[in-house]
Amino acid sequence: MEKQESMTHMNRCIEEERRKAGMAGNVLESAPAWVPDAEAEECMRCHKTHFSTIQRRHHCRKCGYVVCNSCSSNKAIIQHQSAKPLRVCDVCYDVVTNPSTTSVTSSNTKSVALFSMPRQIGAIADSSDSDDGNDTNQ
């Protein structure tokens, strides 16, 4: 319970500082909280590919979904994350490359907003997952 109270206090402090800086109410784009590998037995986009040692998992750097190679064949520059192109799923690639799109909904998936919600404090993406497309199973 003490940890939860600390997290709540930290979130309030961050929101107060954002408000003071004139950023209250603005949605800032940040790195998404990744879906853990163990929670995805199949591609979260096509639902056809079942992951194994042959069919590898990849994380979309925009939405955090675990996707197959076929559903993440593109790279895009994601503002506020990296100056170099990062692996993204096909849905997020369409959002990033078509700025007039504010959200895209795919059947059996959640909406992918143009701006990802900031990740919760303490949720840290696994830094061992490289940006070169050679993700590893965890």
Q: In this structure, is residue 6 part of a structural domain? A: no
H or E element at residue 86: strand 86-88
CB 89 within 8 A of CB 67: yes
Give the predicted TM-score (pTM) of the model: 0.54
31 C-beta neighbours (distance < 10 Å), count: 19
Q: Name 20's Cβ contacts closer than 8 Å, sequence gap at least 6.
A: none
94 C-beta neighbours (distance < 10 Å), count: 16
Angle at 92 between CA 108 and CA 78, to 5 degrees: 150
Q: Name 69's Cβ contacts closer than 8 Å, sequence gap at least 6.
A: 55, 56, 58
Q: In this structure, is residue 15 part of a structural domain? A: no
- pLDDT by 10s per residue, the chain, length 138: 677 777 777 777 777 776 776 654 445 556 788 999 999 999 999 999 999 999 999 999 999 999 999 999 999 998 888 899 999 999 999 999 987 755 544 433 344 433 333 343 334 344 344 444 444 444
Q: In this structure, is residue 50 part of a structural domain? A: yes
Q: Which pLDDT score, from 0 to 100, does residue 30 have?
A: 66
Question: In total, how many domains does the chain have?
Answer: 1
Q: Which pLDDT score, from 0 to 100, does residue 86 have?
A: 95
Q: 47: domain range?
A: 29-113
